[in-house]
Amino acid sequence: MFNGIIKNTGKINKIFKSRNNCTLEILSGLKFSKNEIGTSISCSGACLTLVKYKKNISSYYISKETLNRTNFSYAKKGDVINMEKSMKFGNRISGHFVYGHVDSTSMIKKVKFIGKSWFITFKLAKKYHKNIVQKGSIAINGISLTISKLLSDGFEIVAIPQTLKLTNLIYLKKGNKVNVEFDVLSKYINNFFEKRL
């Protein structure tokens, strides 16, 4: 489990894709120990298992299911990846509970600049609209963000300068796809009521 507060990014150093899976190498300043082999790392919102590391390069295996649900199917060498280690019990939670279980991808429709903030509009499939509420939490590429506005075909978020400075949002532009994870509370509540109907 993560909290969506990103303080580290990395770059894809190598990516080996096949039809059914993928192996990813990320170059970053994130430090690992031998005890962390096999632990979960949020890589742009997807919970991946740390397979090995050497100096500044860490390696991860991506299954076909993860490829199908995330933007890693479009990933290429040099892409910037948001990285977060899993939370430790007792840590402060500044964002919201992020599981790293990506629900879907979303395409950026528009980026508008007001002052030093970015107003980013995302297109979202209609079937997922039940999972979003205005002022509710959402994880975009693993970043804990607040939905500022609901739209007929998606939603809008506002990224402040600090978020832009520390994450890969600053590199995104119209047409790019991002990983989306909805607030787990919305998913449980919707599932509960759907079963009762």
pLDDT per residue as tens digits for the range 95-113: 788 999 999 999 999 999 9
Highest averaged pLDDT of the listed ranges 4-18, 79-93, 179-193: 4-18
| 8-85 matches 104-196 in fold | yes
- CATH fold, domain 8-85, is Elongation Factor Tu (Ef-tu); domain 3 (2.40.30)
Find the range with the poorest average confidence among 51-55, 90-94, 155-159. Answer: 90-94
Q: Is there a contact between 8 and 28 (Cβ–Cβ < 8 Å)?
A: yes
> Does residue 72 surpass a pLDDT of 80?
yes
Residue 19 backbone phi and psi in degrees, to 5: -65, -35
pLDDT digit string (tens) for 22-56? Answer: 999 999 999 999 999 999 999 999 999 999 999 99
Tell me the domain boundaries of the chain.
Answer: 8-85, 104-196
What value does the mean pLDDT of the chain take? 92
Q: Tell me the Ramachandran region of residue 139: left when phi exceeds 0, alpha when psi lies from -120 to 50, beta otherwise.
A: beta
Amino acid 95: pLDDT = 78
CATH node for 104-196: 2.40.30.20
Amino acid 186: pLDDT = 78
Angstrom distance (rounded) from CA 26 to CA 13: 5
What is the pTM (predicted TM-score) of this model?
Answer: 0.92
pLDDT band for position 148 (cuts 50, 70, 90): very high
Angstrom distance (rounded) from CA 23 to CA 97: 27
